[in-house]
Amino acid sequence: IKELIMKKNYENSLREIIKEYKLKPKKKLGQNFLHDKNIISSIVNKANIEDEDIIEIGPGPGILTESILNNKARSLLAIEKDDSFEVNLQKIRSNYGDNFDYLISDVIDFDFKKLTKKNYKFVSNLPYNISVPFILKLIKIRNIIPWKEMILMVQKEVAERITANISTKNYGRLSIMVNLNNDVEKLLNVKPSSFIPRPKVDSTVIKISPKNKKININTEVFERIVKTCFSQRRKKVKNNLDQLNINTISLLELSNIDPDIRAENIDIEGFIRISRNYEELIKENYEDF
Ligand code: SAM
């Protein structure tokens, strides 16, 4: 009963914030607000917030934000696109003082070079429409901002694509790009009833942490190879790679890949070999001219 009352209190407080600030959840900004106290505490516990520098994407009404601050984050920077949350964020800043700040900005366009600290942990109930571009952006810019970990709520289907095993229908570009230099773990599944308004889909909280050793590879070439290999999933890898106007058969032979298999049956090491050999072939061809 105590649990139920506490859960109800959280739901009320979110409803009160929505009412007080006359917030109308905007679908196009993925505004499904978390009210479930148990889920909020699980996210914050699993993120090990204490003494960490945290960035939260999309604080919205700020319930997760306050929970992060109550769990003794060293600092918290919130990045929110929708300025209708600004009054609420200002209130949080006046309550919590110097270790909280916020920016009104679109995180997809945000220039992370501006940030001075390193080793941030990202914690976010991400808006569905930007979850994939956000994750790919952060993976790309880790040399600019060497973040420590990301604890993210994403659509269940996105979590499944990121954690997919080779030779399954979800295995593809996203799984490969994320797993190249990171470990990914599913932490918990979240039902639509944990949000106001309820989304149509289930969600999953995932943890993405960089591997100790970064693979030495030209990531632009690697990305291009993976994209080309998956351009038509049902086609043989040889046929997809023919678009690159190189000797595909020798590229695949050098890389120890059967030209008749599909991209979904090639593991990350296989893509690494194709990508490195492709770079070599291109260099050799230039030298011939
Ligand atoms: N953190 C709140 C929670 O857990 O209830 C809100 C999460 S809601 C799923 C997503 C939040 O991200 C919204 O506040 C939305 O306005 C914000 N948002 C949407 N697109 C954004 C973007 N491109 N950059 C920054 N914030 C964005």
Of the pLDDT bands very low, low, confident and very high (cuts 50, 70, 90), residue 1 is low
Q: Which residue CA neighbors atom 12 of ligand 1 most closely?
A: 58
Q: Given pLDDT bands bounded at 50, 70 and 90, which one contains residue 243? A: very high
Is the pLDDT at 278 greater than 50? The verdict is yes
Task: Give tens-digit pLDDT for 15-60.
Answer: 777 777 777 788 999 999 999 999 999 999 999 999 999 999 999 9
The Cα 128–Cα 161 span in angstroms is 14
Burial pattern 125-155, b for ≥16 Cβ within 10 A else e, equals bbbbebbbebbeebbeeeeebebebbbbbbb
Kindly tell me if the per-residue pLDDT of 81 is higher than 80: yes
C-alpha of residue 114 to centroid of ligand 1, in Å: 21
| Separation of CA 210 and ligand 1 centre (Å) | 24
Q: Are 94 and 74 in contact (CB under 8 A)?
A: no
Residue 285 identity? N
Higher pLDDT, 136 or 98: 136
The per-residue pLDDT for range 104-115, each reduced to its tens digit, is 999 999 999 888
Query: Which atom of ligand 1 sits closest to the CA of residue 61?
Result: 2
pLDDT category at 289 given cuts 50, 70, 90 is: very low
Give the residue from 105, 129, 106, 124 showing the smallest Cα distance to 30: 129
Instruction: For residue 233, report the distance from its CA to the centre of ligand 1, in Å.
Output: 33
Residue 10 has pLDDT above 50, yes or no: yes
- Residue 14's pLDDT is 78
Write the CB contacts of 60 (distance below 8 Å, at least 6 apart in sequence). 31, 33, 80, 82, 85, 125
Closest residue CA from atom 21 of ligand 1:
81
Task: Collect all residues with Cβ–Cβ distance below 8 Å to 287 and sequence separation of at least 6.
Answer: none
Q: Whose CA is nearest to atom 10 of ligand 1?
A: 127
Give the helix ranges, DSSP H, for 219-267.
219-229, 237-241, 248-254
Atom of ligand 1 nearest to the CA of 26: 16
| CA 175 remoteness from chain centre | 11
**In this predicted model, what pLDDT tens digit does every residue of 199-241 receive, in sequence order?**
999 999 999 999 999 999 999 999 999 999 999 999 999 999 9
Percent of the chain with pLDDT over 90: 82
Mutation choice for ligand 1 from 54, 80, 102, CB with most ligand atoms inside 8 A: 80
Identify the residues whose C-beta falls under 6 Å from ligand 1. Answer: 29-34, 57-60, 63-64, 79-82, 106-108, 125, 127, 130
Per-residue pLDDT for 254 more than 90? yes
State the distance from the centre of ligand 1 to the C-alpha of 29, rounded, in angstroms: 6
Task: State the pLDDT at residue 288.
Answer: 53
pLDDT for res 97: 85
| pLDDT value at residue 7 | 54
pLDDT at residue 8, rounded to an integer = 53
Q: Per DSSP, what are the bridge partners of residue 107?
A: none
Q: How far is the CA of 199 from the centre of ligand 1 (A)?
A: 14
